[in-house]
Amino acid sequence: MTIHASRRDVLKGSGALVVSFSFVGVIGETLAQGTKPVALTEVDSFLAIDRSGVVTIYTGKVDVGTGIATALLQIVADELDVPLNATKLVEGDTGLTPDQGKTWGSLSIQVGGMQLRNAAATARAALLEQAANRLGAKTEDLKVVDGVVSAGNKRVSYGELIGGKSFALKLDHAKPTAGKDPKDYKFVGKVVPRVDIPDKVTGRFTYMHDFRVPGMLHGRVIRPSAIGATLESVDETSIKDIPGVVKVVRQGNFLGVVAESEWGAIKAAQKLKASWSKSQTLPEAAKLWDEVRGSEIAKDEVTMNVGDTAEALDRAGAKTIKATYDFAIHTHGSIGPSCAVAQFKDGKLTSWSASQATHDLRKQLAMMFGMNVDSVRCIYIEGSGCYGRNGHEDAAADAALLAKAVGRPVRVQWSRADEHGWDPKGPPTLVDLRASVNGAGAVTAWESEFYIPQQTAGSFLVPLVAATLASMPAADDIAPGNIFQNSAIPYKFANIKTVCRRLASTPFRPSWIRTPGRMQNTYANECFIDELAAGANADPVEFRLKYLDPNDKRGIEVLNRVAALAKWDKRSSPSRNQRGDVATGRGIAYCKYELSRTYIAGVAEVEVKRSTGEIRVTKFYLAHDCGQIINPDGVKNQLDGNVIQTISRTLIEELKYDRSAVTSLDWASYPILRFPQIPELVYDLIDRPNERPWGAGEPAATIVPPAISNAVFDAIGVRLRSVPYTPDKVMAAMKGAA
């Protein structure tokens, strides 16, 4: 190892926020970029150790409220053999952190964490080699405790070996350096309290929404009254009485105000008179599914093709079962509306936001303002919980546009209506399924068609609202995410064909919301297999086990374990002998995430009130195998989120709109689940310390809608095929079945 002297302490005055046990918030001058490596192939991109032995970890993955910051510290501290409280984390800063991809897809541990583990293992091996030289010992005779290497009574600390200097070591993530034996882990696999919680419960935490820079002004945006409307006129005299208004910024159809105070900006945005053209680009809500089905098909993607389904479906004696499922348009609904600060200085743009993808945002802002990417720095600051690509990037673009217009730093805080009305949406999903069953009740063929918007090849840059409204340069991507995933199925039928009919367009700007596509597709698949089980008078667990790949032992295990956990009563659905107004039922669902990683099986127990159509989930059981668990309490916390948020989406949530715009602009018109509606949660976490770790942030959400649907069928013998399962729909379904 070559140790390079005089490594700059890049953190000092860098403007980066640092997460650590002591939670240091450092805000100052912008660091000249290019002084610290950020390439994925350098140890120095990920790690720095100062003279006192404090390890600074640089990651492009960000904690969006999931607790991942703590898990990443655990991974690195363990691999390096340093105390947890000697670690600090710098997240999502394009000037300081490597681009490890968006914080999405439940990949922060699986990909981001493993890159960090590789960097730490590589660094440790080099430090040991150096220590062996220094101490005149063999590396195999060295011991490391809390960042101090010893051989007999001779010791040298990491701080003494590398403190303040760079490693100058290469990394190959395809061939990672061998790390510790999992049996030697001190932090990995253990419950470690989250580093951020003490500050969050005492009001000491700095959210994006709390972040301020000197000389900053407050901006608000005024969005068009209709999607696609043109700004016809603005009457600036309408706000002349509001003190402290700095500027009304109008650029094309972008309209915003900038004021000295936040309240001044809010009042100005509320009172500014603007007139917009009429625009009716949205479908009639009542005809949404006709619209989706009638949309132009950009291409058909066959995601699974086994045997010959057409021949099997036509075969004499075969019985065909068909069903259509739909899943409503959803909004992200972060409790804190999007917020960002931007500053133009010396030809460079610095953007602070809670973006889950600062490296992508940087490209988009550079394109929007015609700047070199190197002249834009995007810095992550944790915001309100983020479950996908919501409005953060758009707020960042708004702030940048306004900052440029006034020549001072501007903070933009979206209103609740801005967030509900203008964040990108989880697109509507429509699924047709067909299966053929032979005389013996066995499934001989499975066919499905998923009507889902297309995804621009190789690019996931959801267009920025401000760039679109102001007609500034932007990539014209349609980016709902990898929503084809889990359209293919884990069951081994002789003939299978699953097709994604990729639509050329979808009514609202789409993006990914927690478990995008995997949730909707698993919902349709796992409800439909339940229909086949019911048709065969089979127990739904046994029916699934019969068709799962017998070699996929982990899948079979989660199913068996959730059945044991829920004391599953082996029988077919629906249940019999239900009397009284409130019927009870149980339903199961299974998923192998993306057919390649985390396994989940869940059981929902529900009550259905026949007189009103209300569904109540009373208990939810999960068996979950994400391989090596980093922090069991962190995984449980994520499972809570997966289950509770998805019950909300399944039972309640649906975007409302008219022909012009979103009309569900607050929590009254877009309600979510409340405390009194929370079920009891019971988990069986399967830890496999010797397997690679997989994600836990999203997979469990897949099985929630189908488990509920199947439980409702078990209770009342009526199949629900349209999310959300509102009382009206339940009543209509019961009426239809009667």
Partner 1 sequence: MAQSKSLNVNGKAVRIMIDDPDMPLLYALRDNLALHGPCFGCGLAQCGACTVHIDGKAVRSCVTLLSSLSVRQKVVTLEGLGTPERLHPVQRAFIEEQATQCGYCINGVIMESAAFLAKTKKPTEAQVKDALANNLCRCGAHARIVKAVMRAASV
Interacting residues with partner 1 (CB under 8 A)? 64-67, 193-194, 196-207, 209-210, 212, 243-244, 261-264, 266-267, 333-337, 382-387, 413, 415-416, 633, 637, 640-645, 648, 666-668, 672-676, 678, 680-681
Q: How far is the CB of 592 from partner 1 (least distance, A)?
A: 23
Q: How far is the CB of 502 from partner 1 (least distance, A)?
A: 30
d(C-alpha 584, C-alpha 591), whole Å? 24
Q: How far is the CB of 657 from partner 1 (least distance, A)?
A: 19
Laid out side by side, the sheet with 87-91 consists of: 18-20, 87-91, 55-59, 47-49
Q: How far is the CB of 656 from partner 1 (least distance, A)?
A: 16
Task: Closer to partner 1 by CB, 146 or 666: give it.
Answer: 666
Q: How far is the CB of 253 from partner 1 (least distance, A)?
A: 25
Task: Closer to partner 1 by CB, 71 or 433: give it.
Answer: 71
Residue entry with tokens 């673009």: 397
Task: Closer to partner 1 by CB, 638 or 709: give it.
Answer: 638
Q: How far is the CB of 480 from partner 1 (least distance, A)?
A: 21
d(C-alpha 145, C-alpha 607), whole Å? 54
Residue entry with tokens 């295990």: 557
Dihedral pair phi/psi, residue 525, rounded to 5°: -65, -45
Q: How far is the CB of 331 from partner 1 (least distance, A)?
A: 10
Task: Closer to partner 1 by CB, 261 or 375: give it.
Answer: 261
Q: How far is the CB of 637 from partner 1 (least distance, A)?
A: 6
User: Using N-to-C axis directions, what is the helix angle for 540-547 and 518-535, rounded to 10°?
Assistant: 110
Region of 711 please: left (phi>0), alpha (psi -120 to 50) or beta: alpha
d(C-alpha 149, C-alpha 81), whole Å? 10
Q: How far is the CB of 620 from partner 1 (least distance, A)?
A: 10
The bridge status of strand 495-503 relative to strand 443-453 is parallel
Specify whether the CB–CB gap between 81 and 124 falls below 8 A. yes
Neighbouring residues of 217: CB distance < 8 A, sequence distance ≥ 6: 246, 258, 259, 260, 265, 402, 406, 408, 409, 410, 411
Q: How far is the CB of 738 from partner 1 (least distance, A)?
A: 34
Region of 479 please: left (phi>0), alpha (psi -120 to 50) or beta: beta
Task: Closer to partner 1 by CB, 128 or 644: give it.
Answer: 644
Dihedral pair phi/psi, residue 301, rounded to 5°: -115, 115
Q: How far is the CB of 715 from partner 1 (least distance, A)?
A: 23
Region of 329 please: left (phi>0), alpha (psi -120 to 50) or beta: beta
User: Using N-to-C axis directions, what is the helix angle for 704-716 and 518-535, rounded to 10°?
Assistant: 30
Task: Closer to partner 1 by CB, 202 or 233: give it.
Answer: 202
Q: How far is the CB of 263 from partner 1 (least distance, A)?
A: 5
Q: Tell me which residue of 278, 403, 389, 293 sits closest to 332, measured CA to CA.
A: 389
Task: Closer to partner 1 by CB, 243 or 473: give it.
Answer: 243
Task: Closer to partner 1 by CB, 417 or 732: give it.
Answer: 417
Q: How far is the CB of 685 from partner 1 (least distance, A)?
A: 15
Q: Tell me which residue of 582, 549, 360 sits closest to 463, measured CA to CA.
A: 360
Specify whether the CB–CB gap between 35 and 8 falls below 8 A. yes
Task: Closer to partner 1 by CB, 71 or 533: give it.
Answer: 71
Q: Could you please report the per-residue DSSP string of 105-122?
A: TT-IIIIIIHHHHHHHHH
Q: Is the dihedral of CA 627, 630, 632, 638 positive or negative?
A: negative
Q: How far is the CB of 363 from partner 1 (least distance, A)?
A: 26
Specify whether the CB–CB gap between 121 and 177 falls below 8 A. yes
d(C-alpha 388, C-alpha 653), whole Å? 17
What kind and span of H or E run contains 257? strand 254-259
Task: Closer to partner 1 by CB, 341 or 376: give it.
Answer: 341
Two tokens, residue 268: 């100005």
d(C-alpha 178, C-alpha 27), whole Å? 37
Task: Closer to partner 1 by CB, 315 or 416: give it.
Answer: 416
d(C-alpha 315, C-alpha 438), whole Å? 9
Q: Could you please report the per-residue DSSP string of 449-503?
A: EEEEE---TT---PPPHHHHHTT----------STTTT-S-SB--SEEEEEEEEE
d(C-alpha 34, C-alpha 29), whole Å? 15
Q: How far is the CB of 725 from partner 1 (least distance, A)?
A: 18
Count Cβ neighbours within 10 Å for each residue of 64-101 and write b for 16 or more, e otherwise: bbbbbbbbbbbbbbbbbbbbbebbbbbbbbbbbbbbbb
Task: Closer to partner 1 by CB, 145 or 197: give it.
Answer: 197
Residue entry with tokens 């022909």: 659
Q: How far is the CB of 367 from partner 1 (least distance, A)?
A: 30
Task: Closer to partner 1 by CB, 312 or 644: give it.
Answer: 644
Task: Closer to partner 1 by CB, 387 or 621: give it.
Answer: 387
β-sheet bridge partners, residue 602: 589, 622
Specify whether the CB–CB gap between 245 and 282 falls below 8 A. no
Task: Closer to partner 1 by CB, 100 or 413: give it.
Answer: 413
Task: Closer to partner 1 by CB, 208 or 349: give it.
Answer: 208
Q: Tell me which residue of 105, 112, 97, 157 sits closest to 131, measured CA to CA.
A: 157
What amino acid is encoded at 573 in this protein? S
Task: Closer to partner 1 by CB, 200 or 735: give it.
Answer: 200
Collapsing DSSP to helix, strand or coil, 676 comes out as helix
Q: How far is the CB of 418 from partner 1 (least distance, A)?
A: 11
Determine the straight-line distance between the first and last CA of the chain, rounded to whole angstroms: 77
Residue entry with tokens 């016809």: 232
β-sheet bridge partners, residue 429: 327
